[in-house]
A and B are shown apart, each in its own frame.
Chain A
Amino acid sequence: AQTVTQSQPEMSVQEAETVTLSCTYDTSESDYYLFWYKQPPSRQMILVIRQEAYKQQNATENRFSVNFQKAAKSFSLKISDSQLGDAAMYFCAYRSANAGGTSYGKLTFGQGTILTVHP
């Protein structure tokens, strides 16, 4: 079974600064997807960024980028120019791309990292 580990329960950053959230995962599969979701105080789960494992190029979405290291099974999220609205719980998630597997489709989440942004 796949597992996702976020080793930082809490992180903080000053407004306009850069912060990196860590995520590692364990899998025996070669084809999969990785995601970062954000959960603000409203508790809504919002997709931040996604990465396909077969792509070597790191995904970017405006101020959000990832550092995907497939061999190390690492998928960190970098938030540049942090804003007060970035304060939230961030979840790293794994999804198998093996359509024939029993775990296909579902997301496996890490425990989350609470990000605080200081003005």
Chain B
Amino acid sequence: DSGVTQTPKHLITATGQRVTLRCSPRSGDLSVYWYQQSLDQGLQFLIQYYNGEERAKGNILERFSAQQFPDLHSELNLSSLELGDSALYFCASSKTGTLSSGANVLTFGAGSRLTVL
């Protein structure tokens, strides 16, 4: 158990629908990251939050949105789903500090597998 909790583990839905993926970071980690892993595109960075604020944005579609709440958990909302959105969605968290202290290392959750039919 990495300490990063993602729910649900599996999700099957239809095109056009909306889903929400949830992530609880490791205790003490203020940064949360979302990544998408599909077969043909590897691991793509979507978005990063730090202590509730958006910190960096990657290749996140306009149909996708995310937020980090005061208790530091984060949600990734995917709407108007398309077949191509089928992927494994990872959440990761990290704390600030020195690398030798274990900070600045991303710890990943087990992922949420989304299948769009």
Interface set of A (CB-CB < 8 Å, partner B): 33, 35, 37, 42-47, 50, 52, 91, 95, 97, 102-112
Contacts and interface: CB of A to CB of B under 8 A. Distances in A.
A109 B99 contact: no
Contacts of B56: 102-106
A105 B94 contact: yes
B45 A108 contact: yes
B43 A105 contact: no
11 contacts: A37-B108, A45-B108, A46-B108, A47-B105, A50-B99, A104-B55, A105-B31, A105-B33, A106-B56, A107-B43, A108-B45
Contacts of B31: 105
Interface string B45-60: 1001010000110100
A105 B50 contact: yes
B104 A47 contact: no
Contacts of A107: 33, 43, 45, 92, 106
